[in-house]
Homo-oligomer: A and B are copies of this chain.
Amino acid sequence: MFKRSPSLVQQVKAHLKQRIIRVEFQDGRIPPEAELAAEMGVSRNTIRDALSQLETEGVIYRRQGAGTFVNQAGLLVKTRLDEIIPYETMIREHGFKPTVRLVGVDEITADPKLAANLNLPLEARLIVAQKLFLADERPVIFSCTYIPIDLIKQPYDVEDLRAPVYQFLSQFCQQEFGYYISEIVPVMAPEWLVERLILPPEKQVLISFEELGHNQDGEPVVMAYSYFRDDLIRLRLVRRQAQ
Protein backbone atom coordinates (compact mmCIF):
# COMPACT_ATOMS: atom_id res chain seq x y z
CA MET A 1 0.00 0.00 0.00
CA PHE A 2 2.85 2.40 0.81
CA LYS A 3 6.25 3.03 -0.73
CA ARG A 4 9.42 3.19 1.32
CA SER A 5 10.03 6.90 0.91
CA PRO A 6 8.88 9.26 2.33
CA SER A 7 8.81 7.47 5.65
CA LEU A 8 5.90 5.18 6.40
CA VAL A 9 5.00 7.40 9.35
CA GLN A 10 4.66 10.46 7.09
CA GLN A 11 2.52 8.52 4.61
CA VAL A 12 0.28 7.13 7.33
CA LYS A 13 -0.05 10.60 8.84
CA ALA A 14 -1.00 12.17 5.51
CA HIS A 15 -3.44 9.35 4.80
CA LEU A 16 -5.17 9.71 8.16
CA LYS A 17 -5.29 13.49 7.87
CA GLN A 18 -7.00 13.17 4.50
CA ARG A 19 -9.59 10.81 5.95
CA ILE A 20 -10.20 13.23 8.81
CA ILE A 21 -10.58 16.21 6.49
CA ARG A 22 -13.01 14.23 4.34
CA VAL A 23 -14.97 13.45 7.51
CA GLU A 24 -14.74 9.71 6.93
CA PHE A 25 -15.00 9.11 10.67
CA GLN A 26 -18.54 10.40 11.08
CA ASP A 27 -18.84 9.77 14.81
CA GLY A 28 -15.49 11.46 15.41
CA ARG A 29 -14.00 8.19 16.51
CA ILE A 30 -10.82 6.92 14.90
CA PRO A 31 -10.45 3.12 14.71
CA PRO A 32 -8.20 1.37 17.26
CA GLU A 33 -4.49 1.46 16.55
CA ALA A 34 -4.31 -2.29 16.05
CA GLU A 35 -7.06 -2.13 13.45
CA LEU A 36 -5.38 0.72 11.56
CA ALA A 37 -2.11 -1.20 11.65
CA ALA A 38 -3.67 -4.33 10.15
CA GLU A 39 -5.62 -2.28 7.61
CA MET A 40 -2.56 -0.42 6.34
CA GLY A 41 -0.14 -3.29 6.70
CA VAL A 42 2.27 -1.50 9.02
CA SER A 43 3.19 -2.04 12.64
CA ARG A 44 1.33 -0.48 15.50
CA ASN A 45 4.36 1.66 16.38
CA THR A 46 4.24 3.28 12.96
CA ILE A 47 0.56 4.07 13.43
CA ARG A 48 1.29 5.44 16.89
CA ASP A 49 4.04 7.76 15.65
CA ALA A 50 1.71 9.17 13.00
CA LEU A 51 -1.09 9.64 15.54
CA SER A 52 1.29 11.35 17.97
CA GLN A 53 2.17 13.92 15.33
CA LEU A 54 -1.48 14.55 14.54
CA GLU A 55 -2.12 14.95 18.26
CA THR A 56 0.65 17.54 18.55
CA GLU A 57 -0.94 19.44 15.67
CA GLY A 58 -4.22 19.40 17.55
CA VAL A 59 -6.04 17.41 14.85
CA ILE A 60 -6.91 14.50 17.14
CA TYR A 61 -6.79 13.68 20.83
CA ARG A 62 -6.31 10.39 22.60
CA ARG A 63 -7.68 9.07 25.85
CA GLN A 64 -6.08 6.04 27.38
CA GLY A 65 -8.60 3.28 27.72
CA ALA A 66 -11.21 5.14 25.71
CA GLY A 67 -9.94 5.70 22.18
CA THR A 68 -8.72 8.24 19.64
CA PHE A 69 -10.98 11.05 18.49
CA VAL A 70 -11.10 13.77 15.85
CA ASN A 71 -10.76 17.38 17.03
CA GLN A 72 -12.34 19.32 14.17
CA ALA A 73 -11.43 22.64 15.83
CA GLY A 74 -7.76 21.73 15.51
CA LEU A 75 -8.07 21.86 11.73
CA LEU A 76 -8.74 25.61 12.01
CA VAL A 77 -5.33 26.44 13.45
CA LYS A 78 -3.56 27.46 10.28
CA THR A 79 -0.44 29.28 11.39
CA ARG A 80 1.45 27.29 13.97
CA LEU A 81 4.14 29.61 15.22
CA ASP A 82 6.44 26.84 16.41
CA GLU A 83 7.00 25.75 12.83
CA ILE A 84 9.03 27.68 10.29
CA ILE A 85 6.71 28.60 7.46
CA PRO A 86 7.57 30.80 4.48
CA TYR A 87 5.75 34.11 4.89
CA GLU A 88 4.12 33.59 1.51
CA THR A 89 2.53 30.40 2.81
CA MET A 90 1.44 32.16 5.99
CA ILE A 91 -0.26 34.87 3.96
CA ARG A 92 -1.89 32.32 1.67
CA GLU A 93 -3.24 30.36 4.62
CA HIS A 94 -4.85 33.53 5.91
CA GLY A 95 -6.77 33.65 2.65
CA PHE A 96 -4.79 36.30 0.77
CA LYS A 97 -2.70 36.29 -2.38
CA PRO A 98 0.97 36.73 -1.39
CA THR A 99 3.54 38.89 -3.17
CA VAL A 100 7.18 39.41 -2.23
CA ARG A 101 9.05 42.63 -2.98
CA LEU A 102 12.79 42.64 -2.56
CA VAL A 103 13.12 46.28 -1.53
CA GLY A 104 16.82 46.44 -0.76
CA VAL A 105 20.05 44.46 -0.71
CA ASP A 106 23.10 46.06 0.90
CA GLU A 107 26.46 45.17 2.28
CA ILE A 108 27.15 46.43 5.79
CA THR A 109 29.63 46.09 8.63
CA ALA A 110 28.52 44.22 11.74
CA ASP A 111 27.17 46.26 14.63
CA PRO A 112 27.95 45.02 18.17
CA LYS A 113 24.66 43.13 18.52
CA LEU A 114 25.00 41.31 15.19
CA ALA A 115 28.63 40.49 15.93
CA ALA A 116 27.82 39.10 19.38
CA ASN A 117 24.85 37.04 18.24
CA LEU A 118 26.51 35.64 15.14
CA ASN A 119 29.86 35.16 16.81
CA LEU A 120 31.63 37.44 14.34
CA PRO A 121 34.46 39.98 14.63
CA LEU A 122 33.27 43.59 14.76
CA GLU A 123 34.68 44.38 11.33
CA ALA A 124 32.85 41.48 9.65
CA ARG A 125 30.80 42.25 6.55
CA LEU A 126 27.22 41.08 6.06
CA ILE A 127 24.59 41.08 3.38
CA VAL A 128 21.30 42.56 4.50
CA ALA A 129 18.21 41.75 2.46
CA GLN A 130 15.04 43.74 3.05
CA LYS A 131 11.79 42.20 1.95
CA LEU A 132 8.23 43.42 1.93
CA PHE A 133 5.41 40.87 1.85
CA LEU A 134 1.99 41.84 0.57
CA ALA A 135 -1.37 40.18 1.08
CA ASP A 136 -3.73 40.99 -1.76
CA GLU A 137 -1.40 43.90 -2.63
CA ARG A 138 -1.52 45.30 0.94
CA PRO A 139 1.82 45.37 2.77
CA VAL A 140 1.69 43.13 5.88
CA ILE A 141 5.18 41.91 6.76
CA PHE A 142 8.55 43.59 6.54
CA SER A 143 11.70 41.58 7.11
CA CYS A 144 15.44 42.27 7.32
CA THR A 145 17.79 39.32 7.00
CA TYR A 146 21.50 39.49 7.83
CA ILE A 147 23.87 36.93 6.29
CA PRO A 148 27.61 37.01 7.04
CA ILE A 149 29.42 37.43 3.72
CA ASP A 150 32.08 34.89 4.65
CA LEU A 151 29.42 32.18 4.73
CA ILE A 152 28.58 32.61 1.06
CA LYS A 153 30.53 30.02 -0.91
CA GLN A 154 28.89 30.26 -4.32
CA PRO A 155 28.23 33.20 -6.62
CA TYR A 156 24.60 34.28 -6.40
CA ASP A 157 22.21 36.66 -8.02
CA VAL A 158 20.42 39.35 -6.00
CA GLU A 159 17.14 37.72 -6.97
CA ASP A 160 18.18 34.58 -5.07
CA LEU A 161 17.62 36.54 -1.86
CA ARG A 162 13.91 36.66 -2.57
CA ALA A 163 13.53 33.05 -1.35
CA PRO A 164 13.44 32.16 2.37
CA VAL A 165 16.89 32.41 4.01
CA TYR A 166 17.16 28.73 4.72
CA GLN A 167 16.94 28.01 1.01
CA PHE A 168 19.66 30.54 0.32
CA LEU A 169 21.85 29.04 3.05
CA SER A 170 21.52 25.56 1.66
CA GLN A 171 22.06 26.63 -1.95
CA PHE A 172 24.89 29.13 -1.60
CA CYS A 173 26.44 28.59 1.82
CA GLN A 174 26.60 24.80 2.19
CA GLN A 175 24.75 25.26 5.46
CA GLU A 176 21.83 23.05 6.39
CA PHE A 177 19.37 25.05 8.43
CA GLY A 178 18.49 23.75 11.90
CA TYR A 179 16.24 26.04 13.90
CA TYR A 180 15.44 29.59 14.89
CA ILE A 181 15.55 30.92 18.42
CA SER A 182 13.02 33.71 18.20
CA GLU A 183 12.26 36.56 20.55
CA ILE A 184 8.89 38.19 20.34
CA VAL A 185 9.04 41.91 20.96
CA PRO A 186 6.31 44.54 20.77
CA VAL A 187 7.41 47.73 19.04
CA MET A 188 6.09 51.15 18.18
CA ALA A 189 6.67 51.41 14.44
CA PRO A 190 9.41 53.90 13.56
CA GLU A 191 8.77 56.39 10.77
CA TRP A 192 10.44 54.36 8.01
CA LEU A 193 8.33 51.33 8.87
CA VAL A 194 5.12 53.35 8.93
CA GLU A 195 5.95 54.31 5.36
CA ARG A 196 6.89 50.82 4.23
CA LEU A 197 3.82 49.14 5.71
CA ILE A 198 1.51 52.14 5.11
CA LEU A 199 0.28 52.04 8.70
CA PRO A 200 -2.72 54.15 9.72
CA PRO A 201 -2.13 56.15 12.93
CA GLU A 202 -4.11 53.76 15.14
CA LYS A 203 -2.22 50.65 13.95
CA GLN A 204 1.36 51.61 14.66
CA VAL A 205 1.92 49.01 17.39
CA LEU A 206 3.54 45.95 15.87
CA ILE A 207 4.88 42.53 16.74
CA SER A 208 8.50 42.11 15.90
CA PHE A 209 10.40 38.84 15.65
CA GLU A 210 14.08 38.89 16.42
CA GLU A 211 15.33 35.58 15.15
CA LEU A 212 18.71 33.94 15.39
CA GLY A 213 18.94 31.14 12.85
CA HIS A 214 21.18 28.17 13.60
CA ASN A 215 22.54 25.47 11.36
CA GLN A 216 22.22 21.77 12.13
CA ASP A 217 25.35 21.96 14.30
CA GLY A 218 23.67 24.53 16.53
CA GLU A 219 25.92 27.36 15.33
CA PRO A 220 24.30 30.76 14.72
CA VAL A 221 24.44 31.59 11.03
CA VAL A 222 21.89 34.26 10.28
CA MET A 223 19.82 36.98 11.95
CA ALA A 224 16.42 38.23 10.93
CA TYR A 225 14.05 40.95 12.10
CA SER A 226 10.44 40.78 11.00
CA TYR A 227 7.52 43.12 11.60
CA PHE A 228 3.90 42.05 11.32
CA ARG A 229 0.69 43.98 10.81
CA ASP A 230 -1.37 42.00 13.25
CA ASP A 231 -4.73 43.23 11.95
CA LEU A 232 -4.20 41.17 8.80
CA ILE A 233 -1.92 38.37 9.95
CA ARG A 234 -2.62 36.77 13.31
CA LEU A 235 0.14 34.84 15.04
CA ARG A 236 -1.18 31.69 16.63
CA LEU A 237 0.46 29.05 18.71
CA VAL A 238 -0.54 25.74 20.25
CA ARG A 239 0.79 25.54 23.79
CA ARG A 240 0.88 22.30 25.73
CA GLN A 241 1.78 21.28 29.20
CA ALA A 242 5.47 20.54 29.70
CA GLN A 243 6.49 16.86 30.02
Contacts and interface: CB of A to CB of B under 8 A. Distances in A.
Contacts of A236: 181-184
Contacts of A234: 183, 185
B238 A181 contact: yes
A84 B73 CA distance: 20
Contact of A217 (B61, B85, B183, B235): B61
Contact of A240 (B179, B187, B237): B179
A171 to B, nearest CB: 15
Copies in the complex: 2
A239 B211 CA distance: 9
Interface stretch (A74-82, A103-111, A120-128): A74-82
A10 interface: yes
A212 to B, nearest CB: 9
Given A82-B238, A82-B240, A242-B83, A218 B74 contact: yes
A239 B77 contact: no
Interface of A: 10, 58, 61, 63, 69, 71, 73-74, 77, 81-85, 166, 177-188, 205-207, 211, 214, 216-218, 220, 230, 234-243
Given A77-B181, A183-B235, A188-B205, 11 more contacts: A58-B181, A63-B217, A71-B218, A81-B184, A82-B82, A179-B239, A180-B239, A181-B238, A185-B207, A186-B187, A186-B206
